[in-house]
Amino acid sequence: MRVLVTGAAGFCGRHLCAALRAQGHEAWAAGHDAAYPVDFRLVELVAELFTEARPELVFHLACTSHPADLQRGPAEVQTENVVHPLLNVLECAGNTRVVLASSAVVYGRGPTTEDSPMRPADLYGAARASAEAMAQRHVQRGGDVVVARATGITGPGQHPRFLLAGWAHRYAGGERRIATGNLEFRRDFIDVRDAVEGLVVLAERGERGAAYNLCSGDALPLRELFARLCPGAESTDGDAPSREVPVIAASPARAEAQGWQRRYTLGQTLEELRDSCSAS
């Protein structure tokens, strides 16, 4: 199958392209720093990509993935970096199935199910919710979109600007006093390889127009995650940004009903993340 992956050079995108190719699919890796360097904010470039790739399936991951990138800017930044790329992809996709990688931050709290109302607590969550609204409008007009809402994703090879990877990189570099911010908040993390498998399962079996949580269903205090990832290290408030939502957690039951199963335990993921930082 000819599959287009936007945001293919990102953390999840790299793992997704590798998984698709391992399954025998022809994966077109597009986006910033990818094999096909397309700016998805420009519809004419997106149209050219679709004409060349002729995808039978699209995974849309092209989006600002770090909340801080949107928190610093006005509402126009949200539209330019989240909504416009999706609108351009949907316009070019027509009736081709699009799997939209969204986020559980659209709920604004936890624990939640897919039927919980979206009440985003910050600009990042609002941008993701706006993108989902555009996707639903596309479905109402006859398009085919499935939405995946992940809680937290981590694993080997993640960039250190992200929470757990940042701790792991500093720990691997020899630091034993690490700025963490508030460790009483609770977060639900899954392995990037399990998240990718969830995207593939939803592409094959997800109901048109439906949303599915990709998560473990178990939100742990950041204090416990820090202790497991950085044994013997001391946490400090430092300059780490505050996180406004006390709990981000969700139920994976709907995705599991479609056949998704997680293969990696949290312990495996944290160990491989730490090892990958030590080797880099």
Question: What residue spans define the domains of the chain?
Answer: 2-154+188-216
Is 50 exceeded by the pLDDT of residue 264? yes
Pairing, β 220-221 against β 186-187: antiparallel
Rounded CA separation 230/235 (Å) = 10
Q: Which residues neighbour 183 within 8 Å (Cβ) at sequence distance 6 or greater?
A: 221, 222, 223, 226, 235
Q: Name, in order, each residue with C-beta under 8 angstroms of 206's C-beta and a sequence gap of 6 or more.
A: 99, 146, 212, 258
Which residue intervals of 3-158 are DSSP H helices?
Answer: 11-22, 43-53, 67-71, 75-78, 84-93, 123-140
pLDDT tens digits for range 180-199: 988 989 999 999 999 999 99
Q: What proportion of the chain, given as a percentage, has pLDDT over 70?
A: 91
Summary mean pLDDT of the chain:
91
Q: Residue 132: pLDDT above 80?
A: yes
CB 103 within 8 A of CB 59: no
Residue 240: predicted pLDDT? 47
Instruction: Give 234's strand partners.
Output: 177
Task: Give the model's pLDDT for residue 171.
Answer: 96
**2-154+188-216 maps to which CATH number?**
3.40.50.720
pTM of the predicted structure, to 2 decimals = 0.92
Cα distance between residue 223 and residue 182, in whole Å: 8
pLDDT band at 51; cut points 50, 70, 90: very high
